[in-house]
Structure 1
Amino acid sequence: MDNQEKLLEELEEFKKEKDRVKEIVGKIGGKDNIQNKRVNMLLIGMIAALLFAGGVLRKIPLNVTMYCAMMIGIVKIIWLLYEMSRANHFQYWILSTIEIRINEISGRIKRIEKSIEELKNGD
Structure 2
Amino acid sequence: MERDEHLRQELDDFKKEKERIRNIVGEIGGKNNKQHKIVSFVFIILIGILLVLGVVLGKITIFLTLEIVVVLGIFKIIWMFYESQRASHFQFWILNSLEFRLNEMDRKVKRIEKMLKEKE
Measure the CA separation in 1 of the matches of 2:106 and 2:39.
44
CA contact (8 A) 1:47 1:69 kept: yes
Counterparts of 1:108-119 in structure 2 under 5 Å? 108-119=108-119
Aligned pair count reads 109
Matched residues in 2 for 1:18 and 1:104: separation? 22
The residue number in structure 1 matching 2:3 is: none
Structure of greater Rg? 1
Distance in 1 of aligned mates of 2:15 and 2:100: 13
**Which structure 1 residue ranges, 5 or more long, are not aligned?**
1-7
5+ residue gaps, structure 2? 1-5
TM-score by length of 2: 0.76
Check 1:19–1:112 CA distance in 2 against 1; reply closer, same or farther (3 A cut). farther
**Identity of paired residues, percent?**
44
Identify the residue that residue 4 of structure 1 maps to in structure 2: none
What SS does the corresponding residue of 1:44 show, helix, strand or coil? helix
Q: 1:54–1:60: 8 Å Cα contact kept in structure 2?
A: yes
Matched, 1:23 2:31: no
Provide TM-score, normalisation by structure 1.
0.74
Paired residue type of 2:78? I
